[in-house]
């Protein structure tokens, strides 16, 4: 009855899900659930910030024009998130610098997402958003269930890294040697599969391997998985529409 009362009050008791994976002690299980709640709280704030910044970028024509028509600024916001990863990783355990760099990192990526959405038909953006939400919720739930059953996904690490390198090289080649809308759709679909697998792999790491001090880095990893999944699905839909 006490658990039911918490639900009635709007409080979700994540620990009611039981042991995260076999062999975990009760005390460690409670600590791990607290860590997971913290990471998902930060991740939710990042997604909300991305939604707001992207919406402003799409709706505010002067800002959109400045970002999309000025190649220098566009290049800056493409490189800046990569640069911010270094201080973000270095200061991830130093408050408040960790949240300052996390905010800057999220805003930079959000502006790029906003420009990508502004160049795409609204219907396709909505479809990509719905598909991304469905995939993220489904795979996250599956990973928690599989972990409870004793399954492990650490073996995916080397395979996913190799796939990421191939995807990056393919995307880089397409910048100089465009292969048409069909190839864009195919690469987008493969990218969606890759980042779906990364979401399972990184969620498994969140449950079992990230230390309690790595809450910032864990949220960054999951955030990048979701963002790249969304962009891959968006590119796939755009390629399919062009065909």
Per-residue confidence (pLDDT) for residue 8, from 0 to 100 = 38
Find the domain containing 77 and state its range: 2-242
Task: Give the pLDDT confidence of 206-218 residue by residue, as tens digits.
Answer: 999 998 999 999 9
Into how many domains does the chain fold? 1
Task: Give the pLDDT confidence of 53-110 residue by residue, as tens digits.
Answer: 888 888 877 777 777 777 777 778 778 888 999 999 888 888 888 899 999 999 989 9
- Mean pLDDT estimate for the chain: 85
> Is 14 a residue whose pLDDT tops 60?
no
CA–CA distance, 80 with 131 (Å, rounded to integer): 28
pTM comes to: 0.87
Render the burial of 123-161: b for 16+ CB within 10 Å, e for the rest: ebbeebeebbeebbeebbeebbebbbeeeebeebeeebe
């Amino acid at each position: 009855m006490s658990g039911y009362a918490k639900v009635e009050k709007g409080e979700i008791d994540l620990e009611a899900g039981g042991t995260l994976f076999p062999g975990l002690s009760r005390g460690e299980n409670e600590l791990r659930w607290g860590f997971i709640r913290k990471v998902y709280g930060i991740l939710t704030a990042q997604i909300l910030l991305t939604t707001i910044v992207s919406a402003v970028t799409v709706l505010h024509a002067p800002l959109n024009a400045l970002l999309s028509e000025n190649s220098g600024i566009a290049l800056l916001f493409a490189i800046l998130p990569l640069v911010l990863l270094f201080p973000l990783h270095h200061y991830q355990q130093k408050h408040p610098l960790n949240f300052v760099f996390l905010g800057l990192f999220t805003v930079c990526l959000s502006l790029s997402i906003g420009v990508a959405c502004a160049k795409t038909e609204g219907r396709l953006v909505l479809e990509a958003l719905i598909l991304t939400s469905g995939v993220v919720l489904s795979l996250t739930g599956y990973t928690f269930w599989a972990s409870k059953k004793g399954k492990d996904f650490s073996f995916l690490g080397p395979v996913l890294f190799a796939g990421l390198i191939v995807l990056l090289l393919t995307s880089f080649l397409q910048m100089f040697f465009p292969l048409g809308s069909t190839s864009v759709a195919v690469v987008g679909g493969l990218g969606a599969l890759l980042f779906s697998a990364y979401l399972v792999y990184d969620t498994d790491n969140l449950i079992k391997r990230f230390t309690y001090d790595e809450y910032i880095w864990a949220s960054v990893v999951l955030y990048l998985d979701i963002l790249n999944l969304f962009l891959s699905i968006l590119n796939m839909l755009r390629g399919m529409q062009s065909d």
